[in-house]
Amino acid sequence: VSVLSISQLCNEVASQFLSNTPHVPTIMQLTHQITTLLQHNPSPLLAQASQLYFQALLSPSQQDIINANTNLQQLLTN
């Protein structure tokens, strides 16, 4: 599983949430893709970071989303 592909999908999800008109079907599709990729890459740290990331997406604060995304990106690149 490419770390880059998970990272790109997460960025796409974040950009959907940060746009003025989030497209829920797109977000659900991207989330499903990320989840599927993570199931093939059983890293506890990665799973935890992505869980925090998805929790942040439910937050009204854009900064929470950005922080969680940054955290996930850092784990993916390490």
**Is residue 45 a part of any domain in this protein?**
yes
Compute the C-alpha angle 14/16/20, nearest 5°.
120
Measured CA to CA in angstroms, residue 62 lies from 6, 16, 78 at distances of 20, 11, 25
pLDDT of residue 2: 62
pLDDT of residue 42: 66
pLDDT of residue 9: 79
- Write out the residue range of the structural domain in which residue 40 sits: 25-77
**Is residue 1 a part of any domain in this protein?**
no
Asked whether the whole model's pTM tops 0.85, one would answer no
- Number of structural domains (the chain) is 1
Q: What is the mean pLDDT of each run of 10 residues along the chain (78 residues)?
A: 70 76 76 75 73 75 79 73
